[in-house]
Structure 1
C-alpha cells in the first residue's frame, strides 16, 4: 500500500523495534500527527480471547475523565416521565415507536449512541438488523439499557465510551484528540486500560493482552510494552 509523504515522514518518528512505555507512546503519537484536522487518538488492543465463546466475550463501558473531544449525539427510546428526564438531561433525540419507520425506512442514523429503558427493548429489537451491525444496539453491559436515563445521558455526554471485541478479537477505542495534553491522554488511556485488565475473562488460558497499539487517525501505530501495562 502506497503511503503519502506526510505519513512516511511521520513513520520515521516511530522505532518499529521498540515497545514504548505509555508516556513515550503518547508523545510520539502527538508528534507524528500531521493532518490538518484535530485527529482522534485511538487504542487498538489485540487479545488472546476467543469471542466465539460467550464467557470470553469482552464488552463494557467506561467514562474517560477528560472525555473524547467529540460531540456525541444521543438517541433515547423512552416514554412518559423517563422521556421527560432524557430531554432534561440533554438527549439529542427522544421518542418511541414513531421513530421505527424513520430509522428502518428512511435510513435516519444521525446519532452516535442509543439508550433505551427496559420496557422499550421490544420496540428497539425490531431495529436489530439496522442498529446491530453498526454497534448501536442498546446493551445492559454497556449501561445503555437502563431506567436511569438521566445518568446514562450524562455519562455519555461526559465521555463514556464502549469497548468490545470485534470479529478478530481486537478492541478499538478512541481516547481523545491530538489537541489534548499528554497528561489528559495519559489519564484517559490509563482509565481504559484499568477497565480492560479488570474485564479479563476468568476462563481464559494463556496471554490476555497480546499487543497494545496507540495511533492517531492518519498517523503510524506505536506499540506499547504490554508487560509494563499489566504490571503498572
Structure 2
C-alpha cells in the first residue's frame, strides 16, 4: 500500500507542473513557494548519472566550495597531532586529537559532519574505516580532507564546502543552502554544484553522463531541471 503524502507535500506537488522541466531560476523560485514547515528546510540538488557505480573507473566524487555557504553549522573532527592539531583547533574544529579521538570513534562516537586527517595520521585512521566509511566520513585526498594544512581544510569546510560521492544507485546529492536564502544565492550555489559534477565526469563514462537533475526542499517534491543547464559535451 502506497504511503499517503502529507497535505503540505500535496500542496507543494500541485505547484510543480507535470512533465515540465524548469530553468534553474524557475526551479529555485518554485521551491521557495512551497508551503513552509516549522523549520528552515535544506535545499538539495540531486543528480542521476549515466555511469555504472559497480565499476571503479566510473566512480564520481569530488568537492565544491559554495559561494554562499550551506547555512549549516558544520561540525568538524580532525585527526592530527602537534602543530597540525593546534592549527585545526584555532581554525574552529570541534573535535581534535589523534589516538584518543580514534579510540573514541572506535567506541561509537560520530558526532561530527566532516572528518579531516593529516597524511601521517591516516595510517591509524584507516583502522576505523569501518566506522567512518559507511557514514561517508572517511577522509580522502580527493576531497581535500587528507592534508597537512588542517587550518585551511577546516575553514573551507565551515565556509560552505560540500563533498559528494556517487551512491550504489548512480545518484549524487548535496545541500546547497536553506529555503530562507535569497533566490540568487541558491541559484549560484546550485550552479556551482552542477558545474563541479560536470567537471568530475570520469574518462571511462560514455554516453549521456547526467541523465537528470532535480532541486527540492526537505520533505517536498523535486523540481526537474531542463537539460541545457547541465548539458555536457
Alignment TM-score, normalising by the size of structure 2: 0.96
How big is each residue's C-alpha offset from its partner over 1:30-72, in whole Å with a ceiling of 9 and x where there is no partner?
1114211000000110000112222211111011011000000
Distance in structure 2 (CA, Å) of the matches to 1:133 and 1:174: 19
Aligned length: 230
How big is each residue's C-alpha offset from its partner over 1:129-181, in whole Å with a ceiling of 9 and x where there is no partner?
11100000000001000011111001001000001100101001110000001
Distance in structure 1 (CA, Å) of the matches to 2:176 and 2:187: 9
In the other structure, the counterpart of 1:16 is 18
Alignment TM-score, normalising by the size of structure 1: 0.96
SS in 2 for 1:102: helix
Unaligned runs of 5+ in 2: none
How big is each residue's C-alpha offset from its partner over 1:99-154, in whole Å with a ceiling of 9 and x where there is no partner?
2222112x211111000000000111111111100000000001000011111001
SS in 1 for 2:198: helix
In the other structure, the counterpart of 2:221 is 220
Contact residue 11 and residue 35 of structure 2 kept, 8 A? no
Distance in structure 2 (CA, Å) of the matches to 1:51 and 1:205: 13
In the other structure, the counterpart of 1:132 is 133
Contact residue 32 and residue 220 of structure 1 kept, 8 A? no
Distance in structure 1 (CA, Å) of the matches to 2:109 and 2:215: 32
Matches within 5 A, 1:47-58: 47-58=49-60
Distance in structure 1 (CA, Å) of the matches to 2:28 and 2:166: 23
Where do 4+ consecutive residues of structure 1 move more than 3 Å? none
Distance in structure 1 (CA, Å) of the matches to 2:102 and 2:229: 47
In the other structure, the counterpart of 2:143 is 142
How big is each residue's C-alpha offset from its partner over 1:180-223, in whole Å with a ceiling of 9 and x where there is no partner?
01000011011111111111112211100000011100111100
How big is each residue's C-alpha offset from its partner over 1:53-97, in whole Å with a ceiling of 9 and x where there is no partner?
222111110110110000000000111111111111111111001
In the other structure, the counterpart of 2:120 is 119
Unaligned runs of 5+ in 1: none
In the other structure, the counterpart of 2:191 is 190
CA separation of 1:141/1:170 partners in 2, compared to 1, >3 Å: closer, same or farther? same
In the other structure, the counterpart of 1:60 is 62
